[in-house]
Amino acid sequence: MRIGNLGVVIYLNDHRPAYVHVIGNGCEAVFYLKCPAGPVTLRENIGFTRSEIARIEDALNPAVPYLCKRWEEIHGEP
């Protein structure tokens, strides 16, 4: 999944609880998905501004069911 020029990634070696990495512009943030319906919560932020984090959250929240399904396909139950 992409949010503009940012990549949304679930790594094969990630662990529970379900979360995603958002990477781009030399920055990275990690958001817990709170499956099955969210809302996402910020776990870690390296470099994004508060307004960028808010925009990322706004983009991720409607995608939580989709991302939870992807997480389950990779790791099993979130």
Residue range 65-72: average pLDDT? 95
Q: What is the tally of helices (H) and strands (E) in the chain?
A: 2, 5
13-31 tens-digit pLDDT = 888 999 999 999 999 999 9
Query: Using 50, 70 and 90 to split pLDDT, how confident is the model at 78?
Result: low
Q: Domain residues for 60?
A: 2-75
pLDDT at 74 over 70: yes
Q: How many domains are contained in the chain? A: 1
34-58 tens-digit pLDDT = 999 999 999 999 999 999 999 999 9
The span from the CA of 52 to the CA of 66, in Å, is 22
